[in-house]
A and B are shown apart, each in its own frame.
Chain A
């Protein structure tokens, strides 16, 4: 990889943009690697968690947003909990995911995850919470290859009342949609 830095493409703008959108001070990371050391899914990642922050720090926009790592992060928050500089790494991944989607840079290898991510958020947007059946429905429409995946557990879950066919809306649905509106990049 080669990173070019010049005045016309101000590299530090990416870091500033991420900092502005996330409220996370990316510059404060001093690359000790503790996040990577404790990450349970790092073995699958193309860039280690600390490298993702590094890419943001030095303005490697494309590398950061097209990485698989941001989609593989399971948001277990182990990294953020343990970070000595209190950088919220898992939260940063969220912001990077959003930016990747907006810019159509999401890694094609992780289409399942992106589809799941979108279905999940759409469900929350619509009902203020997850409606498992409708969310799965949307997800499986988006990724037909997964249609039969996990289908065998459905009867059991229905039997235990874990899958309800009618979506439940929460009380503050309006508030949720206002949050979504506010979060939309200008």
Chain B
């Protein structure tokens, strides 16, 4: 028995009907197309009454196939399939013919538009005649999540997921979680102390029963697919046993290498070779910096295993843990494997390096510092204990010039974007400075003041009106040294004048940039990134926390410059997505996947085992399968598709030399039927 196909042509208001004679399309379909037993038009097929019409006609007319001629299937294919499912029809018997985006919107001539629509609908009707019912594929879900990055984004996401009862693995590449937020002094627009609001959350992470924390660790590789990721994590050699160490601090007190520039202090302070990055570090247990440690340097020089070196060993000797010391020089990198169902990427950002601008001294002037360096100067736990002292001679600066948009909005330096946070943090810096140096003068060079956010505008005006910062509209052209002063040459375009300031210190509001290893991370996770190497969200408005790879979500500044409130909001958004994903035991996947044929003996399969398909598959979904005889001997090795990994791109089907691979829903029979139905004349 042939199929009974119903054709439903949508007017889409006048979107389609203005350029296409929809009545004629329906009429032609009913009259001329084989298999079409019913055809009609409707003003808005996607509306509730439109869907009702579809359901009613399927039942009344006993339709076994449906073609909806409307907008792009990207828009409403799911809507119409869901409507059909309610009548008991298999969703893959419903086809959408796109007569809007690819016809009515791009044409003016109604006669030609109608003709083209008739052809388009005929093609889809032919395909619908060959449609087979498909069942969705069910894949089991691993109910654990991985969060990459232990800054505020990762912390928030991990806590939110863990609070929902899901086990979380949090991986941080540094020795402690906390990220950039731990470095900040006070936060806008409320001026509350950054560490005071962050450290309770860090402690919560450490104590949460559902969170497994890997610090000093990096992602080695990620395999698998949504619901079933296989993750390899490299635990870098810490040289300190986290289980044994109590964080008593004896070791870093005796360490003789005390003059190593601290990354955490943005090179304004020093640390030892065995160290914790900052006093509130989580875990509060040290790591040995093998590059600077005297023992490791000696071992490298002599080419002996570190444990055999006799140099220094002070930290080992002083370690009070007995009988086995917590310090172990022979530690090596360790790879651990974890299975997770979802991943949140929260790898954060880096501050633009200070040495990019020759005109600002190329990083040579000690008193030209970056925004994060100023944060450390203003921080009570920083190298100056919160006193504003300039790095060169420790003097209190009486005139400080702040320069906004250093790197940002500067296509010549490679960042065409706005870093979004600098206007606010510069306003904050002027306040912190004026609070600490009452008689000081703060000058800010800006291009625009962009303070879009709750209470942000008021905050920046407060800096100007109440704290007395002088804002000058223009970029700075050059900074040079004159005695112990820095001469800043700028402009004020509001008066149209050049401005020359004899400053004691200059603070650059440096741009937020993607991490150096962003591309590497993106490749490991198979997610897309943009021209600035920030990870791309799936849709800029409607899917802002999803990456291009299903089951992998984005949080924080790795997706684009963001301040703390926005980061936290996005992290919570990503966490709720993870919870929704992991709430069911099985995931349903579209059955549009490739299949390699299987035949009765003696052929077993037409596959000749060339595995070209395996080479072209971008998802690693093609496996090799041995077809064995009863005695266990291998008769032939053929390709097999892992339907969990297959994304239905069709590359294998196109590559296959023996036509053994078929893409369900788009097999040769269907596609050729479509093409052949078009009359060439």
A binding-site residues for B, Cβ under 8 Å = 1-7, 10-12, 25, 27-28, 30-31, 47, 50-51, 54-55, 57-58, 60, 63
> How many of B's residues come within 8 Å of A, CB to CB?
21
Are B494 and A54 touching (Cβ within 8 A)?
yes
**Which residue of the partner chain, among B399, B461, B470, contacts A58 with CB atoms under 8 Å?**
B470
**Which residue of the partner chain, among A5, A25, A28, contacts B500 with CB atoms under 8 Å?**
A5
Are B399 and A3 touching (Cβ within 8 A)?
no
CA–CA, A50 and B464, complex, Å: 17
Decide yes or no: A6 and B498 within 8 Å by CB, A12-B441, A30-B461 being known contacts: no
**Which residue of the partner chain, among A2, A30, A47, A51, contacts B498 with CB atoms under 8 Å?**
A2
Identify which of B398, B465, B495 gathers the most chain A CB atoms within 10 Å of its CB: B495
**Which residue of the partner chain, among A5, A25, A55, A63, contacts B443 with CB atoms under 8 Å?**
A5
CA–CA, A10 and B398, complex, Å: 11
Q: Tell me if B283 counts as interface (CB < 8 A to partner A).
A: no
A158 to chain B, nearest CB (A): 48
Q: Tell me if B497 counts as interface (CB < 8 A to partner A).
A: yes
**Which residue of the partner chain, among B468, B494, B500, contacts A12 with CB atoms under 8 Å?**
B468
Q: Which residues of B contact A10 (CB under 8 A)?
A: 441
Are A3 and B499 touching (Cβ within 8 A)?
yes
Known: A6-B399, A58-B492. 16 other contacts (CB 8 A): A1-B498, A2-B500, A3-B492, A3-B500, A4-B499, A4-B500, A7-B398, A7-B399, A10-B441, A12-B441, A12-B470, A25-B465, A27-B468, A28-B464, A47-B495, A51-B494
Q: Which residues of B contact A5 (CB under 8 A)?
A: 399, 443, 499-502
Q: Which residues of B contact A30 (CB under 8 A)?
A: 461, 464
Q: Which residues of B contact A47 (CB under 8 A)?
A: 495
Decide yes or no: A60 and B495 within 8 Å by CB, A5-B500, A5-B501, A12-B470 being known contacts: yes
Q: Which residues of A contact B473 (CB under 8 A)?
A: 31
Q: Which residues of A contact B468 (CB under 8 A)?
A: 12, 27
**Which residue of the partner chain, among B461, B495, B497, B501, contacts A6 with CB atoms under 8 Å?**
B501
Identify which of B398, B464, B494 gathers the most chain A CB atoms within 10 Å of its CB: B494
Q: Which residues of A contact B472 (CB under 8 A)?
A: 58
- Residue contacts A-B, CB under 8 angstroms, 29 given: A1-B496, A1-B497, A2-B498, A2-B500, A3-B492, A3-B495, A3-B499, A4-B499, A4-B500, A4-B502, A5-B399, A5-B500, A5-B502, A6-B399, A6-B501, A6-B502, A7-B398, A7-B399, A12-B468, A28-B465, A30-B461, A31-B494, A54-B494, A54-B495, A55-B495, A57-B470, A58-B495, A60-B495, A60-B497
Q: Which residues of A contact B494 (CB under 8 A)?
A: 31, 50-51, 54
Decide yes or no: A1 and B465 within 8 Å by CB, A6-B502, A7-B399, A12-B441 being known contacts: no
B367 to chain A, nearest CB (A): 15
Q: Which residues of B contact A51 (CB under 8 A)?
A: 494-495
Q: Which residues of B contact A7 (CB under 8 A)?
A: 398-399, 502
Nearest A-chain residue to B487, judged by Cβ: A6
Nearest B-chain residue to A1, judged by Cβ: B497
A155 to chain B, nearest CB (A): 49
A16 to chain B, nearest CB (A): 9
Q: Which residues of A contact B464 (CB under 8 A)?
A: 27-28, 30
Closest 10 pairs between A and B when the two form their complex, measured CB to CB:
A6-B502, A1-B497, A2-B498, A5-B501, A54-B494, A3-B499, A4-B500, A27-B465, A54-B495, A28-B465
B479 to chain A, nearest CB (A): 14
1/0 per residue, CB under 8 A from A, across B444-479: the answer is: 000000000000000001001100101011000000
Report B380-418 residues with CB < 8 Å from chain A CB.
398-399
CA–CA, A3 and B490, complex, Å: 10
Q: Which residues of A contact B499 (CB under 8 A)?
A: 2-5, 58
Q: Which residues of A contact B498 (CB under 8 A)?
A: 1-3
Decide yes or no: A2 and B461 within 8 Å by CB, A7-B398, A10-B441, A58-B472 being known contacts: no
CA–CA, A121 and B498, complex, Å: 38
CA–CA, A169 and B499, complex, Å: 51
Q: Which residues of B contact A63 (CB under 8 A)?
A: 495
Q: Which residues of A contact B502 (CB under 8 A)?
A: 4-7
A141 to chain B, nearest CB (A): 38
Q: Which residues of B contact A2 (CB under 8 A)?
A: 497-500
Q: Which residues of B contact A12 (CB under 8 A)?
A: 441, 468, 470
A28 to chain B, nearest CB (A): 5
Q: Which residues of A contact B443 (CB under 8 A)?
A: 5
Q: Which residues of B contact A11 (CB under 8 A)?
A: 470
Nearest B-chain residue to A5, judged by Cβ: B501
Nearest A-chain residue to B489, judged by Cβ: A2
CA–CA, A50 and B496, complex, Å: 12
Q: Which residues of A contact B470 (CB under 8 A)?
A: 11-12, 57-58
Identify which of A5, A31, A51, A54 gathers the most chain B CB atoms within 10 Å of its CB: A5
A72 to chain B, nearest CB (A): 18
CA–CA, A10 and B461, complex, Å: 22
